[in-house]
C-alpha cells in the first residue's frame, strides 16, 4: 500500500489543523479549507494505489550487473542498475533498497530520488561489500514511485536474482592466475623433507608393531625406560591433507568472522603454498560425516578445486545435516516465492511438486543445481538444491553428545590417510566442539598416527571469532563463554598430547605457514 511522503505528511497535518481550527472557532471557510486539503490528499493517495500494477503492465524494466570489484571479502563491489521507462510520462523513483543474502553489506545510493524521463533509460551505481568468501545472491530491489503531486509513494519490487562468487582473502589475483596456469617444474615436485630412511633424525616416538628393528634408539630407550624409535627424513615431495570441521560450531557470523571463514582462508593459503612449492595437497571436510573428500594432488586445477570445495562447504543443505524437516523446508521455499515472485503456494499434497517445478524453472541455467544433494526424494533434493543456489541458509543439526561428531572426525581422518603410500602431514582445523574429554578422540587420532603420519590440531579460539555484542552485560556473558571454551580446549590439549597430537590455539591473523612450521617441527612423543 502507498505511504505518505514528507510533503504528504505536512499536508495531512495542515489539513487536520485547519479543520480543527475551523471547528473550534466556528469558522466555516477555515473548516472548508481543511476539508479540501484532506480530500485532495485522499484523492492523491487513491490515485497512487494502482501505479505499481500499471508499471508491471507497461513493463518498467529493471536490470543490474557487476561493473568492477576485486571479488574478495571486505572489498567494494560496484553494481550498476539500469531502469528503462517505457511510458510517456515522467516517473520519480526513490533510492533502491536491496534484498540481499546474508553476508552482503549495502552502501545506500547517495541520491534521494531518480527521475526517469518518458521513454528513456537511466543508470546509476551502488556499492556492496561481501563479508565472507562464497556464493552471494542479490535477490531483487525495493523502490518507491511517486504519486500525483509527490504526496504519496507506492512500493515497487523488482525480482531479478544476481549471483556473486567471492573468493577468500588469500586468493589474490596473482594466486588465481597461478592456479589457472600449469607450471611443469612445480608439478614435478620440490625436494622437501619427509619421513624415510635418510640420515637426519626427525623425531623420537614410541615403538609400534611392525617398526624395523634397526631403527630402535637404544640409548634413548634406556634413559626413558621404554622402547623409542628414530624417525628419519629423506628428500621427497611432501603430502599434506587439510581436515576441516564444517559443523555448526564453526559458523555463526555472516559478516566473515567465523571459524569456518578462517579455515577457508587457510585452505587458500595452503593451495598457494603447495603451488609455489610443488607439494601435494588434499582436503577432507566433515560434520557428522565426511562432506567432501579430495585426494592429494599438485596440479593447478586440483588446487583450485580444493579452494572451491572449501568455499562450497558454507552452503550445506543435505537432509541428514540440517535441522529442518520437509514441512519446514516447504514453508521456507513457499515464503521465498511469495516474497520474491508474489506467487502464493498453499500447503497441500501437491505443494511440494509445484514448489519443485517452480524452483527448477527459476534456476534452469544454474550449474549449482546439478551438484549432489541428499534428500528423502527427488522433490526434496530439488528444493534443497534451490536453497543452495539462492543463498538461503538452512540451520545445521547440532549434536550435544558428541557421538556423531566423533564418527565424522573418525571418517575424515580415515579418508585423509586412505591409500597413503607415504607418511602425510595432516592438519585438523576444528574447535572440537562439544567434546569435554579426549575419551572418544584419542583412539581416533592414534589410528591416524599409526602409519607414521604427523597429525596436529589447529583450534580457532578467542575473541577474534566471537560475534560482537552490545552493552556491558553482553560483553560479560561473551567473555565468560569464551573463558569456558578456552578451558575446555585446554583440557583437550593435554589429553591429545599424550597421544602425540599437538593442539594449537589460532588467532584470526595466524597464517597457514605458521601452522605448517609447527606441524613439521621435530618433537618427542610424550609418555601416556
CA 70 to centroid of chain Cα atoms: 18
CATH of the domain at 437: 3.40.50.410
Same domain, 332 and 306: no
Same domain, 409 and 312: yes
Same domain, 15 and 68: no
- Asked, for residue 432, whether it belongs to a domain, the answer is yes
Enter the DSSP assignment of 349: T
- Asked, for residue 226, whether it belongs to a domain, the answer is no
Look at residues 166, 192, 221 and tell me which one is the last residue of a structural domain: 166
Answer positive or negative: Cα dihedral of 511, 512, 515, 516. Answer: negative
Tens digits of residue pLDDT in 233-249: 544 458 999 999 999 99
Tens digits of residue pLDDT in 366-379: 999 999 999 999 99
What lies within 8 Å, CB to CB, of 236 at 6+ separation is: 189, 191, 192, 193, 194, 196, 422
Same domain, 348 and 305: no
CB 21, CB 34: distance < 8 Å: yes
Answer positive or negative: Cα dihedral of 297, 302, 303, 308. Answer: negative
Same domain, 146 and 294: no
Give the domain extent around 359.
Answer: 326-387
Same domain, 409 and 509: yes
- Residue 210: pLDDT above 70? no
Look at residues 141, 166, 191 and tell me which one is the last residue of a structural domain: 166
- Asked, for residue 454, whether it belongs to a domain, the answer is yes
CB 324, CB 332: distance < 8 Å: yes
Give the global pTM. 0.82
Confidence of residue 178 (pLDDT cuts 50, 70, 90): very low
User: What is the percent of the chain where pLDDT is above 70?
Assistant: 88
- Asked, for residue 203, whether it belongs to a domain, the answer is no
- Asked, for residue 17, whether it belongs to a domain, the answer is yes
Enter the DSSP assignment of 278: T
- Asked, for residue 231, whether it belongs to a domain, the answer is no
Same domain, 377 and 475: no
- How large is the C-alpha radius of gyration of the chain? 30
What lies within 8 Å, CB to CB, of 210 at 6+ separation is: none
Tens digits of residue pLDDT in 464-512: 888 766 666 667 888 888 899 999 999 999 999 988 899 999 999 999 9
Look at residues 337, 357, 387 and tell me which one is the last residue of a structural domain: 387
- Residue 228: pLDDT above 90? no
- Asked, for residue 32, whether it belongs to a domain, the answer is yes
For the chain, what is the domain count? 4
Same domain, 160 and 287: no
Same domain, 152 and 250: no
* C-alpha–C-alpha distance, residues 419 and 401, integer Å: 31
Confidence of residue 232 (pLDDT cuts 50, 70, 90): low
Same domain, 504 and 377: no
Tens digits of residue pLDDT in 284-309: 999 999 999 999 999 999 999 999 99
Same domain, 413 and 367: no
- Asked, for residue 154, whether it belongs to a domain, the answer is yes
* C-alpha–C-alpha distance, residues 45 and 59, integer Å: 22
Tens digits of residue pLDDT in 451-473: 789 999 999 988 888 876 666 66
The three three-digit cell numbers of residue 439, written as one number: 575419551
CATH of the domain at 147: 2.60.40.10
Same domain, 302 and 428: yes
* C-alpha–C-alpha distance, residues 432 and 230, integer Å: 31
* C-alpha–C-alpha distance, residues 258 and 288, integer Å: 19
Amino acid at each position: 500500500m502507498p505511504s505518505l511522503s514528507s510533503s504528504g505528511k505536512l499536508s495531512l497535518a495542515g489539513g487536520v489543523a485547519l479543520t480543527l481550527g475551523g471547528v473550534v472557532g466556528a469558522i466555516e471557510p477555515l473548516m472548508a479549507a481543511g476539508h479540501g486539503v484532506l480530500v485532495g490528499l485522499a484523492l492523491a493517495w487513491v490515485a497512487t494505489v494502482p501505479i505499481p500494477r500499471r508499471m508491471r503492465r507497461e513493463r518498467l524494466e529493471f536490470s543490474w550487473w557487476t561493473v568492477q570489484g576485486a571479488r574478495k571479502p571486505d572489498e567494494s563491489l560496484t553494481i550498476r542498475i539500469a531502469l528503462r521507462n517505457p511510458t510517456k510520462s515522467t516517473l520519480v523513483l526513490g533510492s533502491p533498497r536491496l534484498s540481499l543474502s546474508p553476508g552482503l553489506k549495502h552502501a545506500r545510493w547517495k541520491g534521494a530520488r531518480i527521475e526517469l524521463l518518458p521513454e528513456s533509460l537511466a543508470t546509476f551505481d551502488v556499492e556492496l561489500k561481501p563479508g565472507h568468501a562464497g556464493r552471494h545472491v542479490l535477490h531483487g530491489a525495493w523502490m518507491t514511485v511517486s504519486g500525483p503531486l509527490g504526496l504519496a509513494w507506492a512500493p515497487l519490487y523488482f525480482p531479478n536474482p544476481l549471483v556473486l562468487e567471492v573468493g577468500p582473502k588469500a586468493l589474490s589475483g596473482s594466486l588465481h592466475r597461478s592456479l589457472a596456469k600449469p607450471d611443469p617444474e612445480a608439478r614435478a615436485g620440490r625436494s622437501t623433507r619427509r619421513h624415510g630412511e635418510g640420515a637426519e633424525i626427525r623425531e623420537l616416538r614410541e615403538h609400534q608393531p611392525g617398526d624395523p628393528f634397526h631403527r630402535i634408539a637404544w640409548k634413548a630407550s634406556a634413559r626413558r625406560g621404554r622402547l623409542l624409535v628414530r624417525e628419519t627424513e629423506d628428500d621427497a615431495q611432501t603430502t599434506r591433507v587439510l581436515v576441516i570441521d564444517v559443523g555448526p560450531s564453526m559458523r555463526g557470523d555472516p559478516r566473515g568472522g567465523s571459524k569456518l571463514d578462517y579455515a577457508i582462508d587457510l585452505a587458500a593459503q595452503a593451495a598457494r603454498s603447495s603451488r609455489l612449492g610443488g607439494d601435494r595437497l588434499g582436503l577432507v571436510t566433515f560434520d557428522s560425516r565426511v562432506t567432501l573428500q579430495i585426494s592429494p594432488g599438485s596440479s593447478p586445477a586440483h588446487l583450485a578445486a580444493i579452494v572451491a570445495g572449501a568455499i562450497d562447504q558454507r552452503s550445506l543443505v543435505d537432509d541428514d545435516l540440517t535441522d529442518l524437516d520437509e514441512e519446514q523446508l516447504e514453508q521456507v521455499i513457499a515464503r521465498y516465492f511469495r516474497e520474491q515472485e508474489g506467487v502464493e503456494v498453499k500447503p497441500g499434497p501437491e505443494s511440494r511438486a509445484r514448489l519443485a517445478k517452480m524452483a527448477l524453472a527459476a534456476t534452469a541455467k544454474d550449474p549449482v543445481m546439478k551438484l549432489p544433494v541428499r534428500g528423502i526424494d527427488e522433490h526434496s533434493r530439488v528444493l534443497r538444491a534451490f536453497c543452495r543456489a539462492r543463498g538461503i541458509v538452512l540451520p545445521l543439526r547440532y549434536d550435544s553428545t558428541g557421538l556423531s561428531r566423533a564418527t565424522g572426525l573418525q571418517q575424515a581422518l580415515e579418508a585423509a590417510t586412505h591409500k597413503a603410500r607415504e607418511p602425510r602431514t595432516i592438519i585438523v582445523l576444528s574447535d572440537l566442539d562439544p567434546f569435554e574429554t579426549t575419551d572418544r578422540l584419542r583412539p581416533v587420532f592414534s589410528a591416524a598416527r599409526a602409519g607414521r603420519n604427523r597429525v596436529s590440531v589447529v583450534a580457532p579460539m578467542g575473541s577474534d571469532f566471537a560475534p560482537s555484542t552490545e552493552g556491558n552485560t553482553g560483553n560479560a556473558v561473551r567473555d565468560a563463554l569464551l573463558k569456558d571454551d578456552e578451558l575446555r580446549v585446554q583440557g583437550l590439549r593435554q589429553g591429545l598430547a599424550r597421544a602425540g597430537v599437538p593442539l594449537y590455539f589460532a588467532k584470526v591473523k595466524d597464517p597457514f605457514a605458521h601452522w605448517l612450521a609447527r606441524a613439521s617441527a621435530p618433537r618427542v612423543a610424550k609418555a601416556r
